[in-house]
Structure 1
């Protein structure tokens, strides 16, 4: 065996072994259990596959009794989930917005048929003609998200890639500006889920009351119900003590979704299984403020109708009134059967959906409850994992074997040999691909690096026919690698 090959082989083996120690590990629900042991056992039985979950907080309301349990870990350090552990609840808090409309209508402050412009005169675009009821039932014709600018697309893309917060910096003025910028589309009158519409509705109700949205929700809903553990975090420094840590399915910690403008769409709210059980029980019983928001008023599809925020779906002979939520690292579900009064809360601290668990606990048969759908097709997530993991090392190995080589080319290829495996680890779906395969990436990159280091002393700096072009290409490549690193890992 030639010496360069031996050196590359040794370097690859060492890096591969190190890669095994650092391989991505999909979260998995551990055996840790707190709270009601019987409920915990039922919840575990309702989890079809523990891979992809880290911790769950569960509450079950049955015969007027509330039982709560915690399963698994609330963070990567192994602290157990407890029934009182705060979770980010995302769009579950949209029911607050719908119930707030009903509550304010009961008080005579507004009417559901009032237009947005009448309640929030600061809005002067075409959206001022939609009604509060249309906003509360996702029938306003406003788009799901405000993506009307390049900046909005960049912010959303960066958040999806880097597990960041897509709503950072979006305050009330940004919501009003978005309402001015978008006209109701052809879908007005039909249900079309809209985070923007929910944000606009909440800010309009807050403006009419002369309070911020969180303060209005506290006064009208949370305080009367005694939901003392349900809080709004406007920034990462305001997260509740002992909160769960949100994680993506590939094990990457996700930023919390905090902010003010989209609070009424589900941004920044944290709660516990215990608190949300009180909300569900009171709403099912009709004693919660604005409880008639639960009543289905408009058709969504052949099985589902919507009220103000709350959906009602038929499963065979059962009808379940519900809402779910999903943020960068959390999933949530609340639901109840109005006939039996049975209700459920399921909170998870990964992005794997928890709706099937809640439905099974409510007695919906497994074949109707379904299974969590992946965020991306399995082939796409697996392809990203494998392609990004190996492409950098393979490219560097190819460069290392070129007869005509220079140091600038080596610098560019070497940078991407580091960046690509890191991207594969961060962005790939490692629930679809064994994590140990990631070690192949560092092994290939290290082998390629060993070969170019062996040749380094004999390489010219720049041997291109047009030297300045090689300089420009190398600088552009290094800048691109740096930008990608900052966007994804910064």
Structure 2
């Protein structure tokens, strides 16, 4: 039986003059699973350069059991806090959920992965190339990263997607669309492609992206504090930070919501992660199957990137970044291990790569018996 094992600490992690990490313990309430010295050093080393008020909310999943760890940087000290129910932007991890919606449509026989997306639209895409649903979900559609009529130099830099609506997307697809290569032959990461996928699934269902998420994923996996609409957030929203530590605005998505609109908690994402370990779940299993080989170390399923590890195993992985947040999620399906990190580290912070580095470092520690 799967269960949640939570561990909350009143700890202070600091750096000694000799460069060693020390942990000052004060009123610890723990389960049998707590962070060890190696994990605490990974936390310190990968977060010490972030600005004050930086928060990380972390789930360590070991053989299907979960420890929640929260940390906050205050006055050059990193302390552990309870924030597993706090809400963050998850950025492009949203794409995994958009691809999961696609899998739901396929399992319900509403469409096929290799169906042309043109067949389900009431306007003509201005290209002779056939783009399939699978190619939108695995970034082989040939579409660029962003549409040409979304000029990031002319939009609100703190909220770049908010005014890009259905009318602008349709205008792009009917008049401006240009593919960088033929569909199906090369991997090129595309926020646009994922946005189109979310838009088209909502169009087919005569619904909204938010409604599809709530009805087909969030309710199913009891993700009660997840939404793609800021107004629907129920728990404490951790404020996003610019690279200099100043608070920044949240990003609002319109028609491109499928590319990055979701707000969630590490608790909710843990429920979604546990469901990934159930190989009888056809909807999720389909998203995990390789659909395109990117290189010798990485393939892609539907949304999920599939990474080969040095120990011979694999993880499915995705990360995300917005103006005020960075996230990373890696799952070892074979051993039912995983790491989920949500943070208010800006994607524009020069050290934002530390979040992925921490994610992969932590999952490596879970390999040890």
State TM-score, norm by structure 2: 0.80
Match of 1:216 among 209, 212, 218: 212
Q: What residue in structure 2 maps to residue 55 of structure 1?
A: 55
- Quote the offset at 1:73 in angstroms: 5.5
CA deviation profile, 1:415-466 (whole Å, cap 9, x unmatched): xxxxxxxxxxxxxxxxxxxxxxxxxxxxxxxxxxxxxxxxxxxxxxxxxxxx
- Quote the offset at 1:240 in angstroms: 4.4
Which runs of structure 2 are paired with 1:25-424 in the superposition (5 Å)? 38-39=34-35, 43-47=39-43, 48-49=45-46, 50-52=48-50, 54-72=54-72, 80=81, 82-126=83-127, 129-146=130-147, 148-149=148-149, 152-155=151-154, 159=157, 164-180=158-174, 181-186=176-181, 188-189=183-184, 190-233=186-229, 239-267=233-261, 269-286=262-279, 290-291=283-284, 292-316=286-310, 317-351=312-346, 352-353=352-353, 354-363=355-364
Q: 1:145 to 1:127 in 2, by over 3 A?
A: farther
Distance 2:80 2:63 in 1: 32
Q: 1:123 to 1:60 in 2, by over 3 A?
A: farther
- Indicate the RMSD between aligned Cα atoms, in angstroms: 2.9
Q: Which stretches in structure 2 are left out of the alignment for 5+ residues?
A: 1-22, 347-351
Distance 2:338 2:182 in 1: 33
Distance 1:173 1:31 in 2: 56
Q: 1:125 to 1:86 in 2, by over 3 A?
A: same
Distance 2:282 2:216 in 1: 7
Q: Residue 241 of structure 2 aligns to a residue in which SS? A: coil
Distance 2:159 2:209 in 1: 20
C-alpha contact 2:210 2:229 (8 A) present in aligned 1 = no
Q: 1:249 to 1:60 in 2, by over 3 A?
A: same
Larger Rg: 1
Distance 1:59 1:309 in 2: 21
Q: Residue 333 of structure 1 aligns to a residue in which SS? A: strand
Greater fraction helix: 1
Shifted more, 334-343 versus 238-247: the winner is 238-247
- Quote the offset at 1:128 in angstroms: 7.6
C-alpha contact 2:129 2:183 (8 A) present in aligned 1 = no
Shifted more, 248-257 versus 96-105: the winner is 248-257
Greater fraction strand: 2
Distance 2:37 2:123 in 1: 52
Q: Residue 183 of structure 1 aligns to a residue in which SS? A: coil
Q: What residue in structure 2 maps to residue 419 of structure 1?
A: none
Q: Residue 317 of structure 2 aligns to a residue in which SS? A: strand
- Quote the offset at 1:95 in angstroms: 0.3
State TM-score, norm by structure 1: 0.61
- Count matched residues: 325
Q: Residue 154 of structure 2 aligns to a residue in which SS? A: helix
C-alpha contact 1:333 1:347 (8 A) present in aligned 2 = yes
Q: 1:275 to 1:238 in 2, by over 3 A?
A: closer
Q: Residue 67 of structure 2 aligns to a residue in which SS? A: strand
Distance 1:41 1:325 in 2: 28
